[in-house]
Structure 1
Amino acid sequence: MIIKEINNKIKIVANIHKLTNTLSMISLSKMNKYNKIIKIIEQLYLKTQYFLKYIFYNKNNYCVIIFTSNKGLCGSINNDTIKKSLNFLKINKNIDIITIGKKSYEYFNKKCFYIKKKILFENNISIDKLKYSNFTINLLNNYKNIFYFSAKIIKNEIKIVKTNLFLNYQINKIKKKNFNNLKFLNKYINYSLKYIYLQNFYCELKCRMITMKSASDNSKKIFKNMKIIKNKIRQFKVTQEMLEIINGFNL
């Protein structure tokens, strides 16, 4: 192998190492940022969920909302989410499908599933803008229960979980003046979106960080091995030239 070719390959591997290491560090910094936000959103979500059991609603239809990322390079998190949602859809027929994220939409659209609604959020969307449109809110209010499929950190491990948006039981309806049930449900649906979306995004960042860190470590090992090969070839060529010079003197 020519040394020039090895040098070109070493440069490529070095650039890959820099790129993957940078992506890993970016994911880690974003994780620290979103971890604090998730804790605040979680409190709002749980508080509104507590009051939900006092509200009576009479609906018939069901819906499943599948959260995936817009980008790849985050391990098997998207595939695992799609697999779990598919197992649920095989058992439960006649359920409307709503996709959040590019990967889930591409898969279900390719497999010719009827998608009731496709939702795509920007990757760097602010928390204030992270909410359903009025049309989507009205659509979701027509369902008896909504099932979220998303990734969640459980005991420091990433798990794919199914979350019931509406509780399966109700106590007595709140009899209080000036209490707007519809307005409360709208806020609760948006809080649930923020909480579950951010949790899923946090898991996506963690998977990407782990994947990029692994790729960075592997490229570093390849870089060192190629350096060793380069030095051996150079040493072999120097030894060969010295032997040729010695043989020339002997002649």
Structure 2
Amino acid sequence: MASLIGIRRRIKSAKNIAQITKAMEMVSASKMKKAQDAALATRPFTLKLKEMMDKVSGGLKGSTHPLTLNSKNPNILVILISTNKGLCGALNVNLYRSLLEFAGNHVGSKIMIATVGKKAKYITPTGNTELSAKFNNLGETVTFAETRSVSAYAIEQYSQGVVGKVYLAYPRFISTLQNDITFTKILPFSTDSTDSVSNYTIEPSSTELLDTLLPYQIEMSVYQTILEARATEHSARMVAMKNASDNAKELIGNLTLDYNQARQSSVTNELLDVTTARMAIE
């Protein structure tokens, strides 16, 4: 009887967990759709802006713009974009593991980490890494104005010579079931394009255009990256909650089978006891 009561309690607990994970799955699915739409809506503009910047800067070889000059400073700033909440499967673990691999590939450099997202603050600096800034107050729905503080910090650190390179580390959104931890260099800005702007009339000049668009391009890259990370976060959470709901249902099924078997065995034993007692009396 005690084992039956224990199994019933486990079944009840599993059903409660299944209800919670199912509700979280539905909430994550709703947020995922909005986050995916936001990330996919701005992606064409960001790519087109990058293409235009490649053409403009490709025709200005030997540009002396501060954001295009290579620095001999070995220090590297990594803007690490994580999730704001947990229950996302192995997303944050994979991001941290990729950061350690990146730091291992740059042993001679000091890796300065600027975290974006509340879960990134739990990352413990090791070896040649150190925390330099935290941007953990971004809202659930990220706006371009909110992300400008992140890009301003990156530009400031690079312009003042504190670091020689700036990377964005984030889970790039591919699909609902697939993402890829990506490290993208945003500073110094460089291009392999050989396109010339000689066929275009640029007023007042290409240099002034570069002065205006280059910081904006950095800001858009950071904004787009954070949108991609948000879409990945909600997708990973929805998938994790769906797996948890499926596992809870499977556990409920197994426990129900165990309960029925134990109950049948208990009833059989009681019948045997009654039959044995009757035979003893006769």
TM-score class normalised by the smaller sequence: 0.7 to 0.9
State the secondary structure of the residue aligned to 2:183: strand
Partners of 1:27 and 1:44 in 2: CA distance: 26
Contact 2:110 / 2:128 at 8 angstroms: preserved in 1?
A: no
Q: CA RMSD in A?
A: 3.0
How is 1:1-251 mapped onto 2 (pairs within 5 angstroms)?
1-53=2-54, 54-55=56-57, 56=63, 57-58=65-66, 59=69, 60=71, 62-92=76-106, 93-109=109-125, 113-122=129-138, 124-133=140-149, 136=153, 139=156, 142=159, 145-154=165-174, 157-166=178-187, 167-169=189-191, 176-177=203-204, 179=208, 181-250=210-279, 251=281
| Distance of aligned partners of 1:160 and 1:127 in 2 relative to their CA distance in 1, 3 Å threshold | same
1:211–1:184 CA distance, 2 compared to 1 (3 A): same
Report the CA distance between 1:199 and its aligned residue. 1.0
Using the size of structure 2 for normalisation, the TM-score is 0.76
Q: Identity over aligned residues, as a percent?
A: 24
- 8 Å contact from structure 1 (residues 41, 194) kept in 2: no
Distance verdict in 2 for CA 1:238–1:86, change over 3 Å: closer
Q: 1:245 offset after TM fit, Å?
A: 2.7
> 19-28 vs 137-146, which deviates more?
137-146
The one-letter code of the counterpart of 1:139 is E
1:23-74 superposed Cα distances (whole Å, 9 cap, x missing partner): 2222222222222211221122122222333354234254221111132221
How big is the shift at 1:114?
2.4
The SS at the match of 2:80 is strand
CA deviations on 1:174-225 (whole Å, 9 max, x unpaired) are 9632856555334323321221111112122222222222221111111111
**Cα distance change of structure 1 residues 244 and 84 upon mapping to structure 2, 3 Å threshold:** closer
Following superposition, which runs of at least 4 residues in structure 1 exceed 6 angstroms of deviation?
Answer: 170-175
Q: Name stretches of at least 5 consecutive residues in structure 2 with no aligned partner.
A: 58-62
Say which SS state the counterpart of residue 115 (structure 2) adopts: strand
Work out whether residues 158 and 166 of structure 2, in 8 Å CA contact, stay in contact via their aligned partners in 1.
no
Q: Which moved more, 1:99-108 or 1:141-150?
A: 141-150
Which sections of structure 1, spanning at least 5 residues, go unmatched? none
SS in 2 for 1:73: coil
Q: State the alpha-carbon separation in 1 of the partners of residues 164 and 51 from structure 2.
A: 17
**Contact 2:111–2:130 (Cα < 8 Å) also in 1:** no
CA distance in structure 2 between the partners assigned to 1:164 and 1:112 by the alignment: 19
Q: Which amino acid aligns with 1:241?
A: E
Q: Separation in 2 of the partners of 1:73 and 1:111? A: 28
Q: Report the number of matched residues.
A: 251
**Aligned-partner Cα distance in 2 for 1:126–1:64:** 20
Asked if the contact 2:4/2:263 (under 8 Å) is kept, the reply is yes
